[in-house]
């Protein structure tokens, strides 16, 4: 069954690269609009082991960007919702869940054993920067999403090293943070050159980051750009693993 299900993936990648995909272990950290799309695409493409990391639960305001969840899922942890879907639709993919807030103190426990690749879909600056710094220090291939919210033009989506990103406030903040730690390149990104504008709204009071002392304003978005970013990250990971 699994072999037939992946026939077109094998035809596209080739048998040996596909076997590398089947053996691979990929961590998807952050399961918002970008991360859940990336996780689905990776499992559907045959990734053998997926590690899902997120501490938050699903709220109603997240449903418009989530490709698998419905109203009944609200209040459940994102890792459990995504894991249940992947185990149902991709039963030959081993799924591990980690319901934790990523930061430097628990990086070792989350990313050991070392995965073959990390998808960074975190949308908060400090944990995102900590993840990127850790991956560079440990030489773990990392593929990072810059800001997808507040944008609408797919033709302005780009990929490249973080040193080449532009027109993205999140990327600018990350470059500044990483430069102070001696990191100027080595992180593959998906980003948009479309100005995001000032669309920020009051914080979502259901956001668990508020309980950690982190105030994060909402930015309006449709499902389109987070989906494009998530699928792009999945494609970058598949290219990396299949071309090694």
pLDDT tens per residue across span 149-177: 889 999 999 999 999 999 999 999 999 99
138 CB-near residues (< 8 Å, 6+ apart):
111, 114
pLDDT band at 73 (very low <50, low <70, confident <90, very high): very high
Q: Which residue has the higher pLDDT, 137 or 201?
A: 137
Q: How confident is the model at residue 210 (pLDDT cuts 50, 70, 90)?
A: very low
How far is the C-alpha of 131 from the C-alpha of 124, rounded, in Å?
Answer: 11
Domains in the chain: ranges and CATH:
2-243 (3.40.50.720)
Q: Strand, helix or coil at 15?
A: helix
- pLDDT > 80? residue 208: no
Q: Does 232 score more than 80 pLDDT?
A: yes
Residue linked to tokens 């989506």 = 157
Q: Where are the alpha helices (DSSP H) in 61-100?
A: 78-89
| pLDDT of amino acid 220 | 85
What's residue 112's pLDDT?
A: 95
Please tell me the pTM assigned to this model: 0.91
Q: Is the pLDDT of residue 13 over 60?
A: yes
Distance CA 123, CA 148 (A): 10
The pLDDT of 91-108, averaged and rounded, is 96
The average confidence (pLDDT) of the chain is: 92
pLDDT band at 211 (very low <50, low <70, confident <90, very high): very low
**Terminal-residue alpha carbon distance, the chain:** 27
pLDDT band at 196 (very low <50, low <70, confident <90, very high): confident
Q: pLDDT grade, residue 201 (50/70/90)? A: low
Higher pLDDT residue, 3 or 212?
Answer: 3
Question: Is pLDDT above 60 for 206?
Answer: no
Contact call for residues 69 and 62 (beta carbons, < 8 A): yes
DSSP class of 181? T
| Mean pLDDT, range 26-35, rounded to an integer | 97
In 3-state terms, what secondary structure has residue 143? strand
Degrees (nearest 5) of the Cα angle 184, 235, 164? Answer: 25
């Amino acid at each position: 069954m699994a072999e037939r299900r992946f026939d077109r993936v094998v035809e596209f990648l080739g048998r040996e690269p596909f076997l590398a995909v089947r053996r691979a272990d990929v961590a998807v950290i952050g399961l918002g609009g970008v991360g859940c799309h990336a996780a689905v695409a990776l499992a559907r493409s045959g990734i053998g082991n997926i590690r899902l990391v997120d501490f938050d639960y699903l709220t109603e305001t997240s449903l418009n960007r989530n490709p698998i969840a419905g109203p009944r899922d609200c209040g459940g942890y994102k890792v459990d919702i995504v894991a249940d879907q992947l185990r149902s639709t991709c039963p030959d993919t081993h799924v591990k869940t980690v319901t934790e807030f990523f930061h430097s103190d628990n990086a070792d426990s989350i990313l050991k054993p070392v995965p073959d690749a990390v998808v960074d879909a975190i949308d908060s600056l400090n944990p995102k920067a900590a993840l990127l710094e850790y991956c560079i220090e440990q030489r773990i291939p990392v593929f990072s999403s810059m800001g997808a919210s507040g944008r609408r033009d797919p033709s302005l989506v780009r990929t490249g090293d973080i040193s080449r990103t532009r027109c993205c406030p999140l990327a600018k903040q990350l470059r500044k943070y990483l430069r102070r730690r001696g990191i100027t390149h080595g992180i593959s990104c998906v980003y948009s050159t479309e100005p995001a504008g000032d669309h920020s709204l009051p914080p979502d009071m259901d956001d668990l980051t508020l309980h950690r002392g982190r105030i994060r304003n909402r930015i309006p978005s449709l499902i389109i750009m987070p989906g494009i970013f998530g699928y792009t990250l999945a494609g970058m990971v598949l290219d990396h693993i299949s071309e090694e």
